[in-house]
Amino acid sequence: MRLLLISNSTNAGDEYLNYPKYNIQEFLGKDIKKTLFIPYAAVTFSFNNYAAKVQERFNEIGYVVDSIHNYNNPKEAVLNAEAIIVGGGNTWQLTRMLQENDLINVIREKVLSGTPYVGWSAGSNVACPTIKTTNDMPITEPKSFNVLNLINFQINPHYLDANPEGHAGETREMRIEEFIEANKDIYVVGLREGTMLLVENDNINLIGKRNARIFKHNVSPVEIVPGGDLGFLKG
């Protein structure tokens, strides 16, 4: 199994998908030519526009973006995919559409059989057991919170340490502490922007220039540096 799970698509002041594009290229390699793109997380813009936006960046690294929304049979598209790319946006809508198209199990089996999977933001959320650690507003209701379960820990993309001056509400860390209180056996990786997890079979590596923050019930949060040991996440 090979996964590239990216926190965010765009760093401040940068172009869309610019910072991770060469990581994606290295991950996919030279043998893959066409990628199956899943744009279901798009809400305020069309799937056509989303696919075109990703294709613009993928032109620079040599891959065709073939969007699943153009297929009458989405399952068949997954079964024939050389690589699966799941874009960011709203995790709740993405989950609902994956479930409505009956794609959860077919994607899971396809990826477990060796097909590379790249996701960013919502696309990283749905690689987890559930979507319970997404930051997104539940604008629509999926059948359940259960998703691809390709990894046995949760990711919180766009993880922020900040507690803005004058803000009296919850911080991101406080929300994750609530999750681990209710889900005591599950690790959560606070994946800061500009970073990603490379999962290759039993190896999990943090890529980027910032640490990841790891949460577990009754354990003080731990900072993991890029290249640090994340083997304990396998459970």
Catalytic residues: 121, 136, 158
Q: Which amino acid is at 96?
A: R
Q: Which residues contact 177 (CB under 8 A, 6 or more apart)?
A: 215
- Residues 99 and 202: their CA atoms lie apart, in Å, by 28
- Give the residue from 135, 139, 17, 38 showing the smallest Cα distance to 87: 38
- Residues 183 and 21: their CA atoms lie apart, in Å, by 34
- Residues 186 and 183: their CA atoms lie apart, in Å, by 6
3-state secondary structure (DSSP) of residue 5: strand
First to last CA, the chain: 17
Q: Which residues contact 87 (CB under 8 A, 6 or more apart)?
A: 9, 37, 38, 39, 41, 42, 50, 54, 119, 120, 121, 122, 123
